[in-house]
Amino acid sequence: MTATTDGSTGAAWPSRVPAASETDTHTDSDIPVATGVPDVAARAMRRATDFLLSRQDDQGWWKGDLETNVTMDAEDLLLRQFLGIGDEDTTRAAALFIRGEQRQDGTWATFHGGPGELSTTIEAYVALRLAGDPPDAPHMARASAWIREQGGIAASRVFTRIWLALFGWWKWEDLPELPPELIWFPSWLPLNIYDFGCWARQTIVPLTIVSAKRPVRPAPFPLDELHTDPHRPNPPRPLAPAASWDGAFQRLDKGLHTLRKAVPRRLRRAAVNAAARWIIERQENDGCWGGIQPPAVYSIIALHLLGYDLNHPVMRAGLESLDRFAVWREDGARMVEACQSPVWDTCLATIALADAGLPADHPQLVKAADWMLGEQIVRPGDWSVRRPHLPPGGWAFEFHNDNYPDIDDTAEVVLALRRVKHHDPERLDNAIGRGVRWNLGMQSKNGAWGAFDVDNTSPFPNRLPFCDFGEVIDPPSADVTAHVVEMLAVEGLAHDPRTRRGLQWLLAEQEPNGAWFGRWGVNYIYGTGSVVPALAAAGIPGSHPAIRRAVAWLESVQNDDGGWGEDLRSYRYAREWSGRGASTASQTAWALMALLAAGERESRAVERGIEWLAATQREDGSWDEPYFTGTGFPWDFSINYHLYRQVFPLTALGRYVHGEPFAKRPVVAKADPDEAEATKEQSLAEAKGS
């Protein structure tokens, strides 16, 4: 490991691209020695294909590790401490992982090479104290000194202080109020739970119960060393001007604290019970909630406070589901995933392998298609609150998440299934038809698509004092909209008015420099790498000014080594960091996918990018990628999808070698009477509702 230009520790990018003979030690006799760029690409593509095929599960799916940050591991230990179910093996393994992620300055970051982050460092420190690390140990003393320099616990985010309040390390009355009566707000009233994004909704509902109960477990040790002034650990926070939105919501929170004492007990008890029913109704078949770890943790705490013992079927299934988020590493460390991504990984792997030339009826592609077909969601979920007349038909991200299918996965699954020659074409076509209809029905009124809900754009949730971390709403984004537009074009709906509205929105969202913002991947490279292929699929020619601006921007940010990279700091400092960072396999692939879709196959920029991918490929056909190129919340919560480094380079190499997968398909409108009638009925229902 060497130092990179941003001062982090990671694999340095080369100052020149080595020749294939210097880096390619693969000795398979069936792969000829590479000479020119096309040969280099074909050789790398075949090796990557073999590697990816070898990683498929027997059931047909792929899943890479989903790496986030140590708050997942710290909160898992805090949960076990709160419930009294900690064990030495789990604690030791979690502590080993947390220690291994600490930086030299004593802090913990939220992404590889990123700066130290206060709340993450506090939670990691407390977890290590639970594991027995003494506060005067050098690594602990460095952490606590840094925490005090940053303002101590009082400067941390609300979620961190909630965890500390569970053990009396912070006062409940100094936290924002979350009344459980929110569960009764009708969907038309501002700040109802459906104004929040689904991930925030699933977290807030159980936290209203926790906030109502304000539990405190005896703290196993004090945390005086994490306060700037131990004698005044809870200093009041300054109020914003009353005329501002922030000031108004701060004063609303003060009013809710006062009202708490006046709420009749019977009313509060009824609200808490309604929230509990809402939680239990949304528990998945595997015991989890929404397929993600944080709502599961808070739901278990909330139900436990209501008297559900740990042997109750709901609780037992919930705790068992959390154990499935744990990844045990060879060194004995235990990493907790925030989520698992089998549907997403499987559809991306299928696309990559098909675009790399694997026959459409290859047994492993058919097996993947079978598994994806079995994962289609055919019952309503929370999305139907805003679309009550829309038939279901989407796909979720995870193994079990029937309540929250998402638009992005659905679009990519359809694109994957269209690449497979299935033994039951009628079943495949029916599934695709349901998915297309559901995605069309989830279009927001501005013509674009969000990830999980329709028109989830209320400005109020982000203003709440409670919401000081991450995104809590789900507005449309360029990357999701692009994937839907690409899917609709492949399905012959490029000229459908709904597709054209999506295209118009995308063109209007282009940044002045030619890039597009990436909501779910880092960042402008991801957004641009998603949008340009969609524009091309929908019939926008490569000579279009928007595509030419995108090409010029991508060429301007290509690294000297031939690759592309972008640091997560571009979410906070766009001018300095947009398109800038150490070259990575996934981000290089995104740039190449855009350039190839724009017709730039013969350009030197594309050739250099292909050469970089080939030169950095490992002997087994894979790539290394310590950098985080995915997001949960831009800047606040970053993700390293371990399969991104495999599927996207293979997709780019395949399209370089074989061309765009649907380039020869005519872009024509396709009339579907059943779908058109369903859309007409949906439009009438929406008109009546408004």
- In order, the DSSP letters of 592-638 are HHHHHHTT-TTSHHHHHHHHHHHHH--TTS-----S--EEEETTTEE
State whether 271 and 389 are in the same domain.
Answer: no
Determine whether 253 is an active site residue: no
Number of Cβ atoms within 10 Å of the Cβ of 121: 28
Is 647:349 a contact under the CB 8 Å cutoff?
Answer: yes
Flag whether 662 is in a domain. Answer: yes
State whether 306 and 201 are in the same domain.
Answer: yes
State whether 384 and 423 are in the same domain.
Answer: yes
State whether 177 and 323 are in the same domain.
Answer: yes
The pLDDT, as a whole number, for residue 1 is 33
Which of 336, 369, 400 is the C-terminal boundary of a domain?
336
Return the residue matching tokens 């790498």.
529
Alpha-carbon dihedral angle through residues 512, 515, 519, 522, given to the nearest 10 degrees:
-130
Which of 305, 321, 336 is the C-terminal boundary of a domain?
336
Flag whether 540 is in a domain. Answer: yes
Report helix, strand or coil for 292: strand
CA angle 653, 657, 658 (to 5 degrees): 115
The pLDDT, as a whole number, for residue 665 is 58
State whether 579 and 654 are in the same domain.
Answer: yes
CA angle 18, 568, 515 (to 5 degrees): 80
Q: Which residue ranges in the chain fall short of pLDDT 50?
A: 1-33, 666-680, 682-690
State whether 396 and 532 are in the same domain.
Answer: yes
Cα dihedral sign, 278-281-287-289: negative
State whether 419 and 286 are in the same domain.
Answer: no
| Residue 548 amino acid letter | R
Which of 336, 369, 392 is the C-terminal boundary of a domain?
336
State whether 273 and 383 are in the same domain.
Answer: no
The pLDDT, as a whole number, for residue 254 is 82
The pLDDT, as a whole number, for residue 672 is 47
Q: What is the DSSP letter of 382?
A: G
State whether 256 and 367 are in the same domain.
Answer: no
Return the residue matching tokens 């064990």.
87
Distance between CA atoms of residues 275 and 264, nearest Å: 17
Flag whether 636 is in a domain. Answer: yes
Q: Give the Å distances, CA to CA, from 220 to 122, 137, 281, 576.
A: 16, 18, 35, 45
The pLDDT, as a whole number, for residue 249 is 76
Range of the domain at 442: 51-66+339-459+478-685
State whether 410 and 264 are in the same domain.
Answer: no
Which one, of 533, 450, 544, lies nearest residue 487 by Cα?
Answer: 533
Residues listed for the chain: 690
The pLDDT, as a whole number, for residue 27 is 42
- What is the number of structural domains in the chain? 2
Which one, of 438, 593, 578, 444, lies nearest residue 511 by Cα?
Answer: 578
Flag whether 39 is in a domain. Answer: no
Q: Point out the catalytic residue in the list 195, 345, 355, 408.
A: 408
Is 40:657 a contact under the CB 8 Å cutoff?
Answer: no
* Residue pLDDT, tens place only, 157-211: 999 999 999 999 999 999 999 999 999 999 999 999 999 999 999 999 999 999 9
Flag whether 274 is in a domain. Answer: yes
Report helix, strand or coil for 169: coil
Report helix, strand or coil for 583: coil
Which one, of 386, 527, 395, 382, lies nearest residue 455 by Cα?
Answer: 386
Flag whether 40 is in a domain. Answer: no
The pLDDT, as a whole number, for residue 14 is 29
State whether 679 and 660 are in the same domain.
Answer: yes
| Tokens matching residue 598 | 């724009």
Distance between CA atoms of residues 508 and 543, nearest Å: 17
State whether 493 and 547 are in the same domain.
Answer: yes
Flag whether 7 is in a domain. Answer: no
Is 481:422 a contact under the CB 8 Å cutoff?
Answer: no
Which one, of 196, 184, 160, 171, lies nearest residue 257 by Cα?
Answer: 171
CATH number for the domain harbouring residue 207:
1.50.10.20
Flag whether 31 is in a domain. Answer: no
The pLDDT, as a whole number, for residue 35 is 66
